[in-house]
Structures are given as C-alpha cells and as structure tokens.
A and B are shown apart, each in its own frame.
Chain A
C-alpha cells in the first residue's frame, strides 16, 4: 500500500527524484562525526521553528497582553513550560553551535577558494541568528527583556546621521510600547526566519555545488543517506537531550499552591505535575512585567555579555560599532586573502583568528560575570581563579553588591508578580499586578499616609531598622488591629501608648468606663469572671460581627457573644442600629475591624457612626476623581452649618468653628489607594483591580 502511494505521488510530482537528490550526496572520504555541526544547526533551527510556531498560537504581542500570554504559556498551558523552555534554550544552543560550526569550517579551510560565497552566506546566517535572539529576548515584555533591549536599540540610535531615525522606525515610535512588540514580533516570526530560510537554502545549495571539504588524507567512500544522516541524527538527539536537561533543571519562579475555600490544598495528579511543571519552577525564567516605574539592573543574554563588556572598555562608537564592525569586516575579507601561495598561511591565521575571537569573547564574558558577583561568591575556587585571570583590578565589591541587591529585589518582584498572576491578571495589564498589590504597594501607602501618625510593625521590613514604621507616633499602633489580642489590650489598658495613650482620648470616657467596671468588682473571683467576659467580647468583636441582632431564644455562640456585648458595651457603642434608635457616643461596632468598617473610618472618621466629635483623624477621600470637588463643597457647607447653629454669640461661633476644624480635616486619597490600604490592613493580598484612574483623552486646545 505504502509502495503504491509512493509510486502514485512520485509519478505525478517527481518528488522521489528531489528526495534522492537531497539524500544521495556523495561524501568522498566517508561520513565523519566532525561534519555534523551544520546539520546540527539545521536540526536545532527546525526545533525552533516547531516550538516557535506552537508559541505563536498562544502569544499575544501587545503592551498589556505580551507578558500575560507568556505567563499563561509558562504556567497554565499543558507543556507550555517545555515548549517555551526548548525555544529559550534552543536559541542559546544555536549560538553555541554557530561557534562550533565556524571553528570546524576554518579548521577544514572550507572558507577558502572556491567556497568564499558560502562563507559569506554563513556569516550572514550568523547575523540573522543573532538578530532572532535579540528580537526574541524582548517578546516576553518582562523587565529583563524590556531594559536589555532598550540598550540595544539605543546603540542603534547612537549611529551617526541616521541612527535616531532607524531607532524610531525599529521601536515603532518615540518610546517602547505596542508597536515595539508588534514590530519585533513581525521581525522575529516572519521576516528574519524568512531571510534565514532563504539564506539557508542558498547555503546548502552552494555547499552541495562544491561538496564537503575533506581532509587531505581521507580515504573511503560515503553517502549522506544513511551514513552521515545517522551521525547527524545521533548528534541532534544528544543536543535535544541537553536542551531537555536545561529545561527540566528549571530556571523559573514557583507558584506556591494555595488552599481552596475549604482550606485544603488540592492534590495534584501525576499528569498535572508534568504538564504544568512550570508551576514547580521548571523551564525558562520569566521576570516581572515590564514597568518603566520600576528600575531593573539590565544585562543582556549571556552570549551578548562580551559585547556588553566591550562598552565598559570603549566608549562611543568605538565599542558599539567600530570594534564589532571591524571584526565582521575582517571575517568577511578572510577568504579573499587566501589565494595562491598565501592559502596555507591564511588557513592557519584563520584558525587562530577565530580561536582568538572566541577566546576574547570568553574573556570578556568572564569579566562581565565576575564584575557582577558578590565578593563572597568569588572567594571560592574556581571563581577566585577566574577573578584573578579576568578582572583582578577591575573588580569593585561595592558595585557588585549593589547589583546583586537590586537583582534580588527584582527576583522578589518577579516571584510576587507570578504568584499574583495565578489568580488572574487585570485587563489594564500585568504591570498592575505589582502596582496594585496590597502587600507591596498597599504597605508603602500605609507607611506614607497612615504611619505618619499611627505606628505599625512591619513583619517583612526591607531593613531591620525599618521594622517600626513610625519612630514618633501620635496615634494608636495598628499592628494586628481588629484581632482579639488588640481588642483585649484596649479593654485592659486603653491609656497604653499602643491605644489611646498618645491621643487626646487618653483618660477619656473609655478609660473611665473600664476603670469603673473593674472598680465595682474588687472581689478577685468576680473580677476573673469579668475578665473572662471581656475576653469573649474581644473574641466576638474580632470576628467582625455583622449578622442581624439575634432573637431571644438563640443559643448560638454568636448570640451569646452579642448578649455579653450588650451587657458591657451597648451604652456607648451601637450594633446594627435600628432606624430611630439613639446614636451613642462611641463608634458603631457593626463589622468592627473588617474592610468595610475600616473604609468608613478612613473616609469619614468624624461621622456619627465612627468617632464623631471625638475624632481628630483627617478624613481621606478621593478629591482628584470626577466629583471630588463636591466632597470639599459638602464639607464647606457643613462647616457653615455648624457655625450658624452656634447662634449669634461671637465666642460660641469661634468655639464651634474650632471644634469643627479639629474634627474635620480632609486629605486626598484615591479610591484605589484606599482599597490598597484597607486590603493591606486586613491581610487580604488580592490585587486591587482598577487600572488607571477615571479619565479620558485630553481636551483639545
């Protein structure tokens, strides 16, 4: 059957002859292992094509989608980590194989007459491969690619006369953005691979015209199929194996499994563990989403490190253009020099030249690496030797330490971004994962806006000295606010600096009430019963109660707690006040300490259901949002009202004015910022979805 189909197709297309022509290549001197490098490059390129097309089916080039789609490939799609990992390490393998192939070619003298054109085609191909690496590096739109590629395009921008124009065209505008990605994507998946394939066909065509460059003493006979093909395939599989090893070793951030609604971390199936091994850190790394708001110590991919290091030695165009361009020019001219009697000389010189180039690149790469390492890393062998060889006097431990600090901070951000992304990414883009993360952005806002009066103990301070956010607090310590311990502490000693001790409430009604309660029960046993009652009230309040007032027969723990609350607290604190019921002097305790309660405290601390006339905290409201003016207007009217109510007496008016101003200060805090603070305080780590504040295109002038 197969034979019949083969004959039928061959009869109508002549395909068999084409295949024969491709496979039946005569190899004088026989097949050899040293001939494999060109084929190895072709094999890895085919892996890049396959994995690249697969990635293309899930990648979305765009400022708000690129990182997210790569995240999705890496962490959510079946075997996405493997496909992306192979593509990532495939590109590095290509560069290594290019070096080996080039070395093999000059050792064989295969760049000399009559194969000059093919040498040039090879150089062109190498350039296209490096171009593919460069364009691909940007596509994940993570911090690393974003900042590293800035450097590359700015080098282009530094070219004389046309540099800035070229840069603008390549970048797709004056700054990085959507069109940078679409253009780099177009280059990476269509234009450069198209050029590469065309040049590769020409490369093989010209190669077949002249045949393989055999060693002078070669004897024996061989054919590409199957003698050389077998060797090529073995090497191809070994390379694929190494690439697999690198991918499986894992370079990414893990996603910590989270518990479901029942508090159980779901067990993962065997298939899930393999198909989504990215969640265990397997595969290539993905840095935090690109964000011009956050610095990043940019370094290029390792095979560009030598060029990067060159810029530290030579400034201006010398390092960026003249030296690399000069090397390219020498390589280009090399085969033309090897004519006639000069041939053996140029042959040997070529080998030395390529070895010297690879050696210099290795030297500069090592130097670049050493300059970025901590002094402690370089103490150990073999790194200490490497340091002595490549960077003895250049090494600056302080600078390296700063770099590593920055790198560690960046890694932490990457890990956090990926963890947050696993719950879903805002449509406004992945950079809002970190910008709107309660545990980082919320903490910072709390520090800037709240810890100017309040105090707070940071469980994860950047420096140990910053553990306490406020060195000179003037209001309560909100560490663990709303917990049983915090509330019991307040009930035990309200005048402690942690509670009212620093404010005007010191020695106030709350303190007096509690003292009087305790004063009434000097008997130690009864006193113990009172403390136990206060304990259970604290526990009840720490549950942020919001349920309806229980009926009389209700025996639930909630109802029991409510009754204790009523017996001790209801004279000063409301709970689910019915319409018409008196508003008492202390804050309303419905939902005490939960997000909504805190929100009310932030927006309207002088409100009747919060601290009323006892308030000294500024209200924080969104004055910049549309309608923000109304908030100020309302406050102004309320002030006028309060003064007017004081009657005609000038002193009374002054007093009322002062009282109002004391209780009603207002400061700007956007709705988004407020939610970040609320979630930080309630230990709710979910990203606040909000994107940019409400706005529109600027009005036309």
Chain B
C-alpha cells in the first residue's frame, strides 16, 4: 500500500468538480440498470388472478342431503409459462339442502389458507383450529381453544344446469374464486 504518500494535495475547484461528475456518472449508471431492474422484479403485478367462471363440479344425483361432498374445480391454469388446459385449481365443499338447493364453500380456510376438512359435524381447519358449522359459520373451536378465523367460510356462486345426458338430473356448476386470507372482509384476489 502507498501509505507513505500523503493524502491528495488540495486542489479544491477541479477535484471537487471531478468528484461531483464521477458521482453523477455513477448515479446515471445505477439508474440505467436500476429502473428496468425494478420493473422486472415487480413484473408479477402484470399477472392478474383468473376472473372465475362457472364450472361443472358434480351431478346433483351424486349429492346426499346434508352430507358434505368434496368436489374439484377444473380450469385452464396458466402458471407463468406453463399452460395446463384442464387442471385442478381448487376444491369446494358442496352440501345439498332440504329444499333441493345446494350450498358451496371453498375448502380454503379464510384464516391462513390451509385446507378445511369436515370432521364429525363441523368444518375444521387442521392448521390453527379454524372451526365452522355445517353452514360455514364460525363457531367455538372447543376444548377452550381459540378460533382464529377472521370470517366465516367463503361461499361461492352456484348454478344448477340441465344435464344433457339425463333430463332427470342436474349439473352443479360453481364459480370458483380465491379470496384474501387473514382479513375480516371477504375480498376477491386480483
């Protein structure tokens, strides 16, 4: 090292100007790379969640009154570059009601997104004791445990369409959507 040399002789005008210009050039350099780099890193903002569409999930004849039925949602799935023309994108619980109508909820827990099971007579999330009645309403987790779910289970829109193969049956169609977890308000993911 050249420690035996004294620091640069003062030459205030020229040197500070040179320093300033060098700093400016460095800043220009950083910006030229930094701005596109930032846009590149924030690229996922360009990929919206799919809008959701009514999909066939089951035949009405498959459902038994009052018994939860787990059905898969098949849709076109785009995963960055990969296109899955017919992939399972989620699951729903279907329950046929006394009047013949059907209610449906996504299996995704509104707390932190684990998959809600049906145990005994309740919907129970295996992660943090999220517990819901068969109507999808938040309820006591039992054994003195806390129910952390911020809202009831997320219900979905449902239609009963004619079955072209069997005029006596109906096809259950569900409009599948994802919602933001961990907030009291049920808000569709965008």
B-contacting residues of A (Cβ < 8 Å)?
21, 24-26, 47, 50-51, 54, 57, 65, 68-69, 71-72, 76-80, 82-83, 86, 208-209, 211, 221, 223, 225-227, 229-230, 233-234, 236-237, 240, 244, 275, 421, 423-427, 689
Contacts and interface: CB of A to CB of B under 8 A. Distances in A.
A426 B83 contact: yes
A497 B22 CA distance: 81
B25 interface: yes
B73 to A, nearest CB: 18
B21 A78 contact: no
B80 A83 contact: no
A99 B82 CA distance: 42
A425 B5 contact: no
22 contacts: A24-B8, A26-B2, A47-B33, A50-B37, A54-B40, A76-B81, A78-B42, A79-B39, A82-B36, A83-B36, A221-B9, A223-B8, A233-B25, A233-B26, A234-B25, A237-B28, A237-B29, A240-B33, A424-B78, A424-B81, A426-B83, A689-B85
B99 interface: no
Contact of A226 (B9, B18, B37, B84): B18
A424 B87 CA distance: 14
Given A24-B8, A223-B8, A226-B15, A77 B40 contact: yes
B8 to A, nearest CB: 5
Given A24-B7, A25-B2, A425 B82 contact: yes
Most chain B CB within a 10 A radius of its CB, from A25, A69, A79: A79
B112 to A, nearest CB: 25
B143 interface: no
B80 A69 contact: yes
A78 B39 CA distance: 6
Most chain A CB within a 10 A radius of its CB, from B7, B32, B42, B84: B32
A424 B42 CA distance: 21
Given A233-B26, A233-B29, A425-B82, A226 B19 contact: yes
Contacts of B26: 233
A24 to B, nearest CB: 6
Contacts of A234: 25
A425 B81 contact: yes
Contacts of B1: 21, 208-209
Contacts of A226: 15, 18-19, 22
Nearest to B2: A26
Contacts of A236: 25, 29
Contacts of A208: 1
A79 B36 contact: yes
A539 B85 CA distance: 33
A233 B33 contact: no
A423 B83 contact: yes
A71 B36 contact: no
Nearest to A77: B43
A79 B15 CA distance: 37
Contacts of B21: 230
Contact of A50 (B22, B33, B84): B33
Nearest to A222: B8
Contacts of A211: 2
A227 B40 contact: no
B158 to A, nearest CB: 27
B176 to A, nearest CB: 20
Most chain A CB within a 10 A radius of its CB, from B8, B29, B32, B82: B82
Most chain A CB within a 10 A radius of its CB, from B26, B29, B42: B29
A80 B43 contact: yes
Q: Which 8 A-B pairs have the closest CB atoms?
A: A424-B83, A79-B36, A26-B2, A68-B81, A233-B25, A72-B81, A26-B5, A226-B19
B40 A78 contact: yes
Majority DSSP secondary structure for residues of B touching A:
helix
Interface string B68-85: 000000000010111111
Nearest to B34: A50
B46 interface: yes
Contact of B37 (A83, A209, A223): A83
A424 B82 CA distance: 6
B25 A237 contact: yes
Nearest to A229: B22
B5 A427 contact: no
A435 to B, nearest CB: 16
Nearest to B45: A78
Interface in B34-63: 36-37, 39-43, 46
B22 A233 contact: yes
Nearest to A686: B85
Range, interface on chain B: 20 to 34
Contacts of A79: 36-37, 39-40
B82 to A, nearest CB: 5
Interface string B1-20: 11001011100000100110
Contacts of A76: 80-81
Nearest to B80: A72
A421 B78 CA distance: 12
A342 B2 CA distance: 29
Given A69-B80, A83-B36, A54 B15 contact: no
A619 B22 CA distance: 77
A424 B80 CA distance: 9
Contacts of A425: 81-83
Nearest to B47: A76
Contacts of A229: 22
Contacts of B7: 24
A426 B95 CA distance: 35
Contacts of A71: 81
Contacts of A68: 81-82
Nearest to A79: B36
A143 to B, nearest CB: 18
Nearest to B78: A424
Given A69-B81, A227-B18, 4 more contacts: A65-B81, A233-B26, A240-B29, A240-B33
B5 to A, nearest CB: 4
B42 to A, nearest CB: 7
B170 to A, nearest CB: 21
A655 to B, nearest CB: 40
B41 A54 contact: yes
A275 B81 contact: no
Given A54-B37, A237-B29, A240-B29, A230 B81 contact: no
B16 to A, nearest CB: 9
Nearest to B86: A689
Contacts of A227: 18
Given A54-B41, A237-B25, A427 B36 contact: no
A24 B18 CA distance: 15
Contacts of B42: 78
A426 B8 CA distance: 64
A230 B18 contact: yes
B43 A78 contact: yes
A233 B39 CA distance: 25
B81 A421 contact: yes
Contacts of B39: 78-79, 275
Contacts of A424: 78, 81-83
Contact of A240 (B18, B32, B82): B32
A229 B83 CA distance: 50
A25 B18 CA distance: 16
A418 B152 CA distance: 46
B74 to A, nearest CB: 14
A426 B2 CA distance: 62
Contact of B84 (A57, A69, A223, A427): A427
Contacts of B43: 77-78, 80
Contacts of B41: 54, 57
Nearest to A67: B81
A51 B36 CA distance: 10
